[in-house]
Structure formats: C-alpha cells, structure tokens
Structure 1
Amino acid sequence: MTTPREATPSRRVRANGDGTVYQRKDGRWEAAGYVLAPGNTRKRVRVYGTTRKEALAKLTEKIATSNRGVPAPSAQGSVSAYLTYWLEAVAVHQLRENTHTRYTACVHQHLIPGLGKKKLAKLTAKDVRTWLNQLRTTCQCCARGIDARRDQPHCSAAGACCSKRLSPLTLAYIHSVLKSALEHAVREEEITRNVARNVRTGTPRPRRFEPLTADEARQFLAAARDDRLFALYELALRTGLRKGELLGLQWEDLDLRKGTASIRRTLQRTQTGGLTALPTKTRASERRIALPSECIHSLKEHREVQKRGATLEGWKDNGLVFTTQAGGPIDPANLNRRFRSLLERAGLRRIRFHDLRHSTATLLLEQGVELVVIKELLGHAHIGVTATVYAHVRLRLQCEAIDLLGRTLHNSAETQPDASADPPPCAPPVR
C-alpha cells in the first residue's frame, strides 16, 4: 500500500478585509485595502514600503483609522489650490469685506509662497513649524522684493539688509488664517486633522496703548469745545463707542428724552461699496447704552446746528447724526486727520482715535466701576476680553488695595491697647 504524500503547508491567506501585500517588480512592497471614504463610501488605497512589514504596518494603520469612523482624506491638490478655493467659495460668504481683504493679502503674501507647493493631504505640523520659524527670521523687504520697487532703496538693493521682520502679532495672525482654512478642510473631510492646531506659536504681547489721564481728558474736551464735531468727541470719550459706531449713528437710534442710544450699525469704507453701513462688529456690539447728561445736552445743540445747515443748498439728508458740512457721511480717514489736528491744538501727545475708547474704560476702572458694567458699555463679546485688555489697570488697582490694607494694618498696630491693662468689662465675643 502506498503512503500518501504529506500535504505541503499552504501559504498563509489573509482574512477578508485585511487587504493584500505583495512585492513589486522594482523590489518595493505594496499593500492595498479598502477604507472609509467621505460620503459614507469605501475606496481602495495603496501604501508602499521597503519591506513587507513596513507596508503592512502602514496599511494596518489606515484600516484601524477607518474602523474608528474617520474617513480617508480625499484632497489630491496642493495647499495653494485649496487656499484659493477657500477664499473664493467659503471665506467670502463668512467674513466681512475688509476682513476678507486682509485674509486674501495674508494668503497671497505669506501662505502660498511658503506652503503653497505642498500637498494638502501630506501637510504636517513639522512643515508648518519649519515655515513659521523661517518666516520669523526673514526680512520682508528681501523676501517680497519691496526694496527693489522703492525709488530710494535702503535694504538689500542698497547693499545693507534692514532686517525688517514680522512682529509676533502678525505671525500669530498668519497662523490663525492657516488654522481657519485647514479647519474648514477638516469639516469638508478633505483632511483628517488640522495640523496647524498642533503648532504652538506662543501668546504675543498685546499692543501697548497710552490712554488719556483724567487731566488730559478734561484738557481734550476743553480744546474740542468750539469744534463742529464736539458732540462726537464727547460721546466717544464718555461712552467708549467705536469710531465706526459713532459715524454710523442715526437720529432714529437716539432717544434724547429717555437718554439712551441704540447701537445697530457701523460705518466703514470697503473696496467695492465705498462708505457703507454694515452690521456691528459682533452680536454683543449691538446694544443699547445710557447717555450721560452732558452728551444729551451737546447732542441737542448739535441737532440745532445741523437743522440750520440743512436749509442750505446742496444739503443731503442721510439721517446721520454726524455728517460733513454737505450732509454726507464722514470718511473714517478724514476723522483721523481732524482728530490729530485737534490733539496738536490742545497740546496733547499723539494717540489713536481708538485710544479714546481705551481711555473711557481705564477711567471707569480707576473709579471702581464693575468690570461687567464696562463690558456691557463697550460691547465686548466676552468679559475675558475686557479683563485681558485692561489687565494693567486692574494691577494698579490691586497695588492701591494692597497699600490701603497695609496702612490699615499699620495703624491698627499703633493704636492697639496695652496688653497689661485690664480688659474692658462685658466685652462682646468675637465671632
């Protein structure tokens, strides 16, 4: 009787769904399998490695990610192509026009030149970190060719680099634009994660501002008394309204009998529409505030002067509280020039118009007004914004409180009665 041949051990077969692994003619190993794709579909992906183990490990990682419900990225284009799409199809509908203009400049001046050639799906946190470090140490005159376009070069074209680098605030702004774009790519399932969020740039120091002191504020109001826009300057200093909110204020927003003002819009200059009335900066900025009695009086006088001007030929009635002499809206840039001239006439140091808003909050804090009241008056979205911007004022108030406590304790020690003396009869117990 013949003995049957021993069965040869069969080749190991991978289970269904584990994919396939084989060696290519060029010597590399290729692994292929099905993973979850956007739209709750499945697609076949291929990975490569120098060894069978390496290719299998890459495929196993992708299948494990798919089993957790994370779809495979579908982005095939570059970072430049996606940023262009995001600006033209997404950001333009979500941002205010001036903000979209700044985003566009940031993308074309920094993001596309630095990261535009990389594949969106292969962008890593290391790529973002390396690019930010390079951007931090690069002279912008040299990188963007600014010096070559000047009539009188004073940087590389003149033989000496001026080392004009970006500020930490600008770097943080560029980083935030990239995070916003990649966050939308994650929502559209183009990529699996926002790698820009894994990069920490540090918290930049806020811009330092020098608000008016109480004496300077009184000097400013005295110098502006004879100005045609005195009511605007007084309203800005006493209520902290933004420049656009003041210029967009209409008479129908004011109730001088009750002493209130409703802030509903802001006036800004845009590239397409010129001077345009837009919604307030945030939802919290749309608010109603109480008017000081001094502002009510100056607004009434301003209205009487405006009524006399409305009888002149060429007057255009737009319903605005503060207008040009012809009744048209005031350009914010023109208001800035008038404000600087007023500061020079008053003999005060040069500050921004927005620093009047900071002066209001600073003076209120120094008078002991609660932070939540100032937050409502200024129209901040969160009280944390108010607390952060005016942290230096709170620190000074803390120092004053500590000094007050120190004087109290020092005086108590001096007036403490002698321990050898008999205690007063029927002393009340201390609870």
Structure 2
Amino acid sequence: MAESKGNRRRRFGRIRQLPSGRFQVRYPGPDGVDRPAPNTFRTKTEAADWLTKKEAEMLVGDWIDPTAGQVGFTAYAETWIKERPGLRPNTVNTYDYLLRRHLAPTFGSKAVSEITDAQVRRWRKDRLDAGVSEVTLAKAYRLLKAVLNTAVEDGMIRRNPCRLRGAGQESSAERPVLKVQEVFALADAVGLRYRLLVTLAAFCGLRWGELAGLRRNRVELIMSSDAADAEVVGAVIAVTEQLLELSNGEIKTGPPKSRAGKRRVVVPSVVLPDLLEHLRWSSNPGSDGYVFATTAGKPLRRSNFGDKWRAARATVGLPSIHFHDLRHTSNNWAAEAGATLAELKQRLGHDSDRAASIYLHSTEERQHTIADALSERARRELRRRDASTDRPNTGTDRPDPDSGPSGT
C-alpha cells in the first residue's frame, strides 16, 4: 500500500506538530548542523513553504547562519574600528567617542542580528529629542551604518537596518565670516603668546591641530637677495603633521587630516611681523621646538588656550565665534582674492572635488599672489579703521607675551 501524501517523508527538513497544534520545523544547514526555524507555524503548509524558501537560499548561496549575528554589537564595533586599515588616530578617537557616547547606550546590549529598522529609527529620534546636534548624530549614524554594512558582508545579517534617507547627511548652519578688523581685534585681545595663533588661522587657513603641531623647522623664512643687508621678506609654512589630543588626555603627533593636508602655505606679509616676533620671544627653542607652546614649554592643548579665547571673544563682543571660524574666514577671503578651486584646496589642504583638481593646478607662485592680495586687503581695511578712529597705526608696540585680556 502506497504511503499517504500527508505522511510522506520530506526530501529536505522535517516538520512535526506540537501539542499546542502549531508546527515546528528543523533543517540541516550547509555546515551540517541541524537547526530549528526561529518560530513555529500555524499550519503545516506555512511550515513547508518556509522550508522550501530556506532550501532555495542554500542552493543560491544566500543562506545566513542564524547564530553568526549573535555577537554583541559593542564588541563587534570595537573590533571593526581596530581592523580598519589606515585610520588616523584622530578618526579612531572620534569613532571610539561616538560608539561609547551615542551608540553603545542603545545598541550595546543587543546582538548584531537583533538590531531592526524600527530600533534605528527610534534611536535617532530619541537622540534628537535629547538635544544631540544633527551634525554629531549624522556622524554616529554613518558609523552605525558602516559597521552593519560589514556585518552584511560577513554573512551575519541579511540586510542593513540603517535605511533612513538623509540621516547620514550633515546640515550644519553656515558659519560667520569675520571682518579683518574683527580678526585683529581678537588677536589683540588674546595676548601676544597666542596672537599669531589667531592671525595664522585667519590668513593661512591652518587647522587647530596643524597650528598646535607646528615646529620651528617647518617655518621657512625667505631672505632678501641683498647680501649686504639681508632681511626676512617672506615665509612659507610646510604643513606635514598635526598634534592630536585624544579623549584619554594623551597627546600624540599624526599626519594631517586628509591626504592633501601635507602642503606649503605662503604667509601673507601682513602677518610676517607677528611671526618673526613670536619666533623670537614665544616659541620653544631649537629647530624642532613647537612654535606654539604653554608658558612651561609644553605642547599646546585646547584647554590651555580656551580661557584666553573665551575672554578675548567677550572683550571684542564676538561671544559665539568658534576658533574654526577663522579657517572658514580664510577660505572666503582667499576666494574673494581670486583663488581658483584648486588653489583653495591647496591652501586649505582639502582633497574633495578630485575631478576638478585634475584640470586645475595650484603653484606656489600663485599662492604668493593670493597671500599678497590678502595682505593688501587687510592693510586697506585697517587704514580705514584707523582713519575713522584717529588711531595711530604703529604696528610695533609689543605688550608682555603672556598678557591677555585679563592681564594675566
């Protein structure tokens, strides 16, 4: 007598009815391990359909080991960060902070395979409601998405649950562009030890880390051709490294932020007197000494400069100005001086818009031209300021290098 269809042994997997009336499925994986379905089924037909789909996944190589994604998210993300090739120390520091501060509190106790679209959506809304800035949240979302993209590639999950359109895009408010008079007012107020820090940021577009890591032997002074009466007539800064301040307080030296960060920046002549005066009195001694250092000769930290900067901003009535706004100001000034896209990228160390850079080339001669235009603009605006206030423009008065807006 032929075996009835209902009792016929299945070619792939097994189905059995539980005392509750629902149906349980088990199947052999490609690795030979016998596994249950993640849930039971209402009917035997539903259970058989599930088995058919699972067998099809194996045949096309699309099967996911259900135990592979049971790794905790925090542990997997920490490994992900450690295994990324070529990450700069500052990037590692940023990733560690984003993971610890913004991702681990929500996803740290979950397995990678347990993270769902709805949880990612709820996490983002909760973070926004908690007052986290859109810029910071976009960075955290991009990190989460990158980690889970790798989980997909590792066969831990079938698809990435980070599917929120626009969530990884930063839309920070446009930062202000300072006037020349405002930059020099800030430089005056911050005191001589840090005056050059302000003017170099505004006229050369150097980043904070590039300024903090600048050494004397990276400042190339240009001498006049008159051998009998040689004098310094210009300067070029070779940016080759930056100082990094990690979240654990450690200070270390690393490469510039981008591949284009290694560059030569011509110092506008309007800043040259400050540069020479600073090298004479305020920099660390020796060719390898830091150009900017504390009164104790230690490498410069943001906290060393922070009190002076905040006091200077209050003194001149610009309490909301960030130090990075000086670099933004430099970019705008250089563009107004006629710098091309490639010249702006050369001066500021940007490597975006690579296609345009293939056809536009910056030369150091053009960088001198841009620097001269910036100097002329500064002198013209300072003359107007002095004429309107009857202020004598001596340009030689030098207070104590350590004096600041509070006289300290």
Q: Does the TM-score normalized on the shorter chain lie above 0.5?
A: yes
CA distance in 1 between counterparts of 2:21 and 2:117 reads: 31
Using the TM superposition, give the Cα deviation of residue 106 of structure 1 relative to its aligned residue in structure 2, in angstroms: 4.3
Instruction: Kindly indicate whether the alpha-carbon contact (under 8 Å) linking 2:217 and 2:288 is maintained by their aligned counterparts in 1.
Output: no
* Gap change, CA 1:290 and 1:57, over 3 Å in 2: farther
Please give the secondary structure, in 2, of the residue aligned with 1:281: coil
Q: 2:73 aligns with which of 75, 82, 88?
A: 82
CA distance in 1 between counterparts of 2:43 and 2:14 reads: 14
Percentage identity across aligned positions? 29
CA distance in 2 between counterparts of 1:180 and 1:327 reads: 41
State the AA in 1 paired with 2:24: E
**What is the correspondence of 1:126-205 to structure 2 with a 5 Å cutoff?**
126-137=118-129, 140=130, 165-197=131-163, 201=167, 203-205=169-171
Please give the secondary structure, in 2, of the residue aligned with 1:111: helix
CA distance in 2 between counterparts of 1:263 and 1:211 reads: 24
Alignment-derived partner of residue 117 in structure 2: 125
Q: 1:305 aligns with which of 272, 281, 290?
A: 281
CA distance in 2 between counterparts of 1:198 and 1:49 reads: 32
* Gap change, CA 1:168 and 1:224, over 3 Å in 2: closer
* Gap change, CA 1:286 and 1:68, over 3 Å in 2: farther
Please give the secondary structure, in 2, of the residue aligned with 1:228: helix
Alignment-derived partner of residue 251 in structure 1: 216
State the AA in 1 paired with 2:25: A
Question: What's the CA shift string for 1:7-36, capped at 9, x where partnerless?
Answer: 5465385775x4333434442223333444
Please give the secondary structure, in 1, of the residue aligned with 2:259: coil
CA distance in 2 between counterparts of 1:110 and 1:347 reads: 34
Using the TM superposition, give the Cα deviation of residue 352 of structure 1 relative to its aligned residue in structure 2, in angstroms: 1.2
Please give the secondary structure, in 1, of the residue aligned with 2:238: strand
Q: When the two structures are aligned, how many residues end up with a matched partner?
A: 339
**Structure 2: runs of 5+ lacking an equivalent:** 223-233, 357-408
Question: What's the CA shift string for 1:359-404, capped at 9, x where partnerless?
Answer: 11122233342233212221223139x9xxxxxxxxxxxxxxxxxx
CA distance in 2 between counterparts of 1:214 and 1:69 reads: 64
**What is the correspondence of 1:99-110 to structure 2 with a 5 Å cutoff?**
100=92, 103-104=95-96, 106-110=98-102
Q: 1:237 aligns with which of 202, 205, 226?
A: 202
Alignment-derived partner of residue 65 in structure 2: 73
State the AA in 2 paired with 1:176: R
Superposed CA RMSD in Å reads 3.6
CA distance in 1 between counterparts of 2:312 and 2:2 reads: 100
Question: What's the CA shift string for 1:71-117, capped at 9, x where partnerless?
Answer: 413546767x2313432x33246455665555455445553443445
Alignment-derived partner of residue 21 in structure 1: 15
State the AA in 1 paired with 2:81: A
Q: 1:353 aligns with which of 320, 323, 328?
A: 323
* Gap change, CA 1:184 and 1:281, over 3 Å in 2: same
Instruction: Kindly indicate whether the alpha-carbon contact (under 8 Å) linking 1:256 and 1:296 is maintained by their aligned counterparts in 2.
Output: no
Alignment-derived partner of residue 46 in structure 1: 36
**Structure 1: runs of 5+ lacking an equivalent:** 1-6, 141-164, 311-315, 387-431
Structure scoring higher RCO (CA < 8 A, sep ≥ 6) equals 2
Using the TM superposition, give the Cα deviation of residue 247 of structure 1 relative to its aligned residue in structure 2, in angstroms: 1.1
CA distance in 2 between counterparts of 1:175 and 1:256 reads: 45
Alignment-derived partner of residue 400 in structure 1: none
* Gap change, CA 1:55 and 1:319, over 3 Å in 2: same
* Gap change, CA 1:174 and 1:261, over 3 Å in 2: same
Please give the secondary structure, in 2, of the residue aligned with 1:129: helix
